[in-house]
Amino acid sequence: MYAVHGVFRDTLGAAPRLVGGIAPDDEERVALIANYYDNVLSFLEAHHGGEEALVFPLLRERCADQLALVEQMAEQHEKALRLLAEARASLAAWPAGDAASQQAAEDALDALHAQLLTHLDDEEAHLLPLAEANLSPEEWGALPGHGLGHFEGDKIWLIIGLIRQRMNDEQRAAMLENMPPPAVEMWTGFGEQAFKDYSQVVVVEVTPLPI
């Protein structure tokens, strides 16, 4: 979860440089970065959907004294999804050569990033310990498969690569062991190299994890 949260912090935090740093008439770069963020936003949507489907209901059922916290997290999800929709609309309305729409896309991603910083900090400080104490490893372990299964972007290898980039060697090995065989085949067959090549073109600094 820390690695996943790191993906959102780092990629959205890079929007001022990745979006704002593009020459207005660079059509190829505009299309590349708009697609990059469309995939990141699709992953965020799938991630939140997994928590709402698999985690929140169990915590509501088992942690009656913590309902206010769970509902606060759910409300933060709703706000994030509204900002996500605004960011996605801004990206879709960003043609090369239009400085105003470029700024609008950057501003929308910045707004989402700012809201997520508060939410992710709250979730790590309060919700993750609650989940650790009240969910089984199997229940928690259902999250990654749900998220990848509901991902609607066009570069699943990008998402896998972004997550793995923030893991240590032991965590990467465990991730591969628990991925479905077709996903492992995709990653080892072409996905890992595709991610390495892509990361040379879209450079995002990786922030060290707190653990």
Residue at 203 is within a domain: no
For residues 210 and 2, the answer to whether their CB atoms sit within 8 Å is: yes
Residue at 134 is within a domain: yes
Q: How far apart are CA 40 and CA 34, in angstroms?
A: 10
What's the pLDDT tens digit per position in 68-90? 999 999 999 999 999 999 999 99
Residue at 158 is within a domain: no
| CB atoms inside a 10 Å sphere around CB 124 | 15
- Pick from 65, 69, 111: which is nearest to 87 by CA? 111
Q: What is the pLDDT of residue 95?
A: 87
Q: How far apart are CA 124 and CA 82, in angstroms?
A: 22
Residue at 181 is within a domain: no
For residues 119 and 12, the answer to whether their CB atoms sit within 8 Å is: no
Q: Which domain holds residue 135?
A: 2-153
Residue at 209 is within a domain: no
Burial 131-154 (b: 16+ CB within 10 A, else e): beebbeeeebebbbebbbeebebe
Supply 61's token pair: 């059922």
Q: What is the pLDDT of residue 90?
A: 96
Residue at 200 is within a domain: no
Q: What is the pLDDT of residue 209?
A: 77
CATH number at residue 54: 1.20.120.520
Please tell me the total count of domains within the chain: 1
pLDDT block averages, 10 residues each, the chain of length 211: 95 97 92 97 96 96 95 96 97 90 97 97 95 94 89 96 94 90 94 97 88 59
Residue at 25 is within a domain: yes
Residue at 104 is within a domain: yes
